Amino acid sequence: MARKKKMKWQSKGPNFSSKDGSTTMNVDGDEDNGSDGGEGENAAGSDVVVSPSGDSEPTSADYYFDSYAHFGIHEEMIKDTVRTKTYQNVIYQNQFLFKDKIVLDVGAGTGILSLFAAKGGAKHVYAVECSLMADTAREIVRANGYSDVITVLKGKVEEIELPTPHVDVIVSEWMGYFLLFENMLNTVLYARDKWLVPNGVVLPDKTSLYLTAIEDADYKNEKMDFWNSVYGFDMSCIRKQAMLEPLVDTVDANQIVTHSQLLKTMDISKMSSGDASFSAPFKLVATRNDFIHAFVAYFDVSFSKCHKATGFSTGPKSRPTHWKQTVMYLEDTITICEGEALTGSLSVAPNANNPRDLDVTVQYSFSGKRCQCSRTQHYRMR
């Protein structure tokens, strides 16, 4: 089954290759993240990142946070109607959660969620944004007449002085690719532990990570196996590196070969930061006779405190979002028959050297009528 070619897309944070073979600029799909670095232009017009610590050499964190000062990132996320309309509906249709409440918007970006909360009846909203976008958010708040209700605070959540000792509601769009890559979860948990009142509300409050398997021969052959022989030369060392890096892209639902397996559900109102590192077993049962070339991860987001539980999915059978899905290619091509099961475990943890990177290890084994294999593969999102 051929996989459709994809257009050039913008990735969150790292360089990922798109299906047209190009490499896109570094951005992050989470509007609610921020920068603690400065930005300017030199004589040639290129960006200059200034370390907030005053050091002459900016750190990788400075570059990462500074990316949130660019308008294109926020445009992409706001135009993600699945994402933005869900937050809007949650707030407008559940005003009992916001009426006369103190709200904290963690990683406010343009301030869109703060505006929703203010319009939804919040007594006051504190919008915390670390990037230069905070200045723009302040202007947006003023232009829409909410300066008396929304206070924009520029800085890291972990470093700012909040003008109130407690908040009733925390709202944030903290999720990253693969749910956990370059996310703001730890920042949300920090804010929860420091400011949220007992029985306060965190929105969203639950997320679930899933795994499935797909057929994707054309792309794997074209982009991965290509390196085995390049104009007669062995460049397979590049293939090894390419296999280590998951691809973020939209998967056609017709490519799915197995059922999905729930790997992890996180309750943001109760969990600790260590819960985001985990190992989970999986059993993927084939729904038809086909080949398996890759695992695909996606996540669901839930707002369970609403009158009517609501949320959205980033899965391949749902409406597309800017998170797309995360594809991890296999060294093996697995021939599987309907009803047979591919089993194993998936482990996730921040990289020891760079906690913004995510290490994913998949151990899998299969013994079917036409194929047997067992392997451990390591991936790194960066």
What would the DSSP string read from start to end of 14-42?
A: S--B-TTS-BPPEE-S-TT----SEEEE-
CA torsion angle 187 190 195 197 (round to 10): 110
Q: What is the largest CA-CA distance in the chain?
A: 70
- The four Cα atoms 166, 104, 188, 88 give a dihedral, to 10 degrees, of 140
User: What DSSP designation does 158 have?
Assistant: T
3-class SS shares of the chain: helix, strand, coil, % to 5: 25, 35, 40
Peptide bond into 165 cis (omega under 30): no
Please identify which of the residues 39, 57, 159, 173 carries the catalytic annotation: 173
Helix (H, G, I), strand (E, B) or coil at 276: helix
Using an 8 Å Cβ cutoff, are 186 and 250 in contact?
Answer: no
DSSP 8-state code for residue 44: T
CA distance 8 to 10: 7
8 Å CB contact between 125 and 114: yes
320, 300 contact by CB (below 8 A): no
Torsion angles phi and psi, residue 92, rounded to 5:
-70, -35
Residues in the chain: 382
With contact defined as beta carbons under 8 Å apart, do 359 and 365 qualify?
A: no
**Residue 161 designated active-site:** no
Identified catalytic residue from 39, 41, 158, 182: 182
| 182 in catalytic set | yes
Structure tokens at 246: 């998951």
Which element (helix H / strand E) includes 199? Answer: strand 196-203
The encoded tokens of residue 19 equal: 């299906």
Helix (H) or strand (E) holding 135: helix 133-143
Residues 6+ apart with CB under 8 A from 224: 239, 242, 243, 329
* Residues labelled catalytic: 173, 182
